[in-house]
Chain A
């Protein structure tokens, strides 16, 4: 049986842990609010952008002159997976879930005889992917120093991806991130960004309005497609940031609750042992008195 002193120390240390997880939960809650706001702010841009893009894609997409970013390279051999995870852990299954989805995807592609290249964003994902696919890693983007996600960060990643595309390094690019559903659930998602896919069905009704294009439809499309990549990455980054904080918040909430349960159990055990000690002492005194 552990002695009283040990138990007391354990209770104190679990209490400290609970304080820390509670604080982390509250910090995550505050950060989550900010991340959600940022995601909210970017939504009008993304929506309008995609609406215009799908309209343009619907009218130009079919022709042979369509830009490569839209129609693809005509091949489907080399896949680039952009895996976006968090820079920090302690957020439940968040990082693991994204990495798992990416790994499943990568394995499937490899078994189909395709070549897979992986670009990681966020060091947690890199650590996990490196274990299985070290030779497939082609690059890593570090966002550790970024306090507040800006569009410039997304542009940086997009530039990297587009540079590789122009150099003919891959045919298809897919991004992996966690879509924010609500605080307790984040869905790991795979989204293909190159060749870009837009919801062209919906756009066909809208396309009935005749637009003047300046300079020309093709030129606008060629100008906007690279921006579309950056936009997709930016909104994925924002979703990811919100998901990360949401996941951390619920993970820390659980941890706080577990610590509470543990303290309760330990306290009962402590009280029991204390009572046992007292009873023991009493028995000793009484039997001592009887012996006289």
Chain B
């Protein structure tokens, strides 16, 4: 059994990481999952959260939002719409993202009156953001829903 696998993290603007790793903890839409070498091929969408990568030289963490992760025999590739190394994550960044999520929630609420689907999705996105903020130790100014 292989000890490491190929891991790629790319955002539309640049390639953030490409290395050999031992495990990747992915914030999947339906819950966190940890992929290790020889994981079953899986495709999952991401929720806003922290992606933790464990390599031979220690662990790195990235804050990711939107996108998907593909686990295949060749390795793990994470395609995130926005990905920032956790160390570079600042309060302003989070506030900006929170603001976006809030607008999405309010537009969803006003656009879809009797359809809970999109509203719930937006509410989930917002609460995921809050949870992520707590996890990385930044205040997310809990909004009232």
Chain A residues with CB under 8 Å of chain B are 38, 41-42, 44-46, 48-49, 52, 56, 150-151, 154-155, 209-215, 219-220, 223-224, 227, 231, 234
A-B contact pairs, 30 of them (CB 8 A): A38-B13, A41-B15, A42-B12, A44-B10, A44-B15, A46-B12, A48-B77, A52-B68, A150-B13, A151-B11, A151-B81, A154-B12, A211-B41, A211-B72, A212-B40, A212-B43, A213-B42, A214-B28, A214-B33, A214-B43, A214-B44, A214-B45, A215-B30, A220-B43, A220-B44, A220-B68, A223-B68, A227-B66, A227-B67, A231-B12
What B residues does A212 contact at CB under 8 A? 40-43
What B residues does A220 contact at CB under 8 A? 43-45, 68
* Inter-subunit contact B43/A52 (CB<8 Å): yes
C-alpha spacing A242/B32, complex, angstroms: 39
C-alpha spacing A120/B10, complex, angstroms: 29
C-alpha spacing A41/B14, complex, angstroms: 5
* Inter-subunit contact A227/B29 (CB<8 Å): no
Chain B: interface size category = 20 to 34
The 4 A-B residue pairs with the shortest CB-CB distance in the complex, in nearest-first order: A214-B44, A151-B12, A212-B42, A41-B14
Give chain B nearest CB distance to A165 CB in angstroms.
14
Chain B residues with CB under 8 Å of chain A are 8, 10-15, 28-30, 33, 40-45, 66-68, 70, 72-73, 77, 79, 81-82
C-alpha spacing A214/B40, complex, angstroms: 12
Give chain B nearest CB distance to A67 CB in angstroms.
13
C-alpha spacing A154/B81, complex, angstroms: 12
* Inter-subunit contact B73/A209 (CB<8 Å): yes
* Inter-subunit contact B81/A227 (CB<8 Å): yes
Majority DSSP secondary structure for residues of A touching B = helix
C-alpha spacing A247/B72, complex, angstroms: 41
Q: Give the residue name and chain of the A residue nearest to B74 (CB).
A: A209
What B residues does A213 contact at CB under 8 A? 42-44
**Given known contacts A48-B79, A154-B12, A212-B41, what 15 new A-B pairs fall within 8 Å (CB)?**
A41-B14, A41-B15, A42-B12, A44-B10, A44-B15, A45-B10, A49-B79, A56-B43, A151-B11, A213-B44, A214-B30, A215-B29, A215-B30, A227-B67, A234-B12
What A residues does B77 contact at CB under 8 A? 48
C-alpha spacing A220/B28, complex, angstroms: 11
What B residues does A45 contact at CB under 8 A? 10-12, 15, 79
C-alpha spacing A142/B131, complex, angstroms: 36
C-alpha spacing A266/B123, complex, angstroms: 72
Using known A-B contacts A48-B70, A209-B73, determine if residue A42 contacts B13 with beta carbons closer than 8 Å: yes
